[in-house]
Amino acid sequence: MPRICSEINNLRVVFDYDKLHETLRNIDTPISELARMCGLSRSGLYKKLNGEREFRVSECIMLCKILKISVDDLVKIIKYE
């Protein structure tokens, strides 16, 4: 299964928590519920959001469906460190 790299040219890809939480507030879904809906544990989702683990493409698509956002919108809540 293809995976989205957590490091690109020595840049770590992580989610901007402020933007993510704003998006989550818009759908009124706690992070633990989001993890369950993605088929992940809460800690597993946090590791992926923090860039410690890679997201599978299927997980990103599921995340977009749950958050009711496009892939373009998902990219906007990612930051590079």
Domain assignment of residue 6, yes or no = no
pLDDT given for residue 3 in this prediction: 45
Residue 40's CB is within 10 A of a number of other CB atoms, namely: 19
Domain assignment of residue 1, yes or no = no
Place of tokens 């958050």: 67
Domain assignment of residue 29, yes or no = yes
pLDDT given for residue 18 in this prediction: 81
Per the structure, the complete domain to which residue 42 belongs is given by: 11-80
Based on the structure, what is the number of domains in the chain?
1
pLDDT given for residue 9 in this prediction: 54
CATH number assigned to the domain comprising residue 70:
1.10.260.40
Domain assignment of residue 64, yes or no = yes
Q: How far, in whole angstroms, is CA 69 from its chain's centroid?
A: 12
Domain assignment of residue 36, yes or no = yes
Query: Could you report the average pLDDT of every consecutive run of 10 residues in the chain (81 residues)?
Result: 48 75 81 89 88 82 88 81 66
Place of tokens 């933007």: 19
Domain assignment of residue 71, yes or no = yes
Domain assignment of residue 19, yes or no = yes
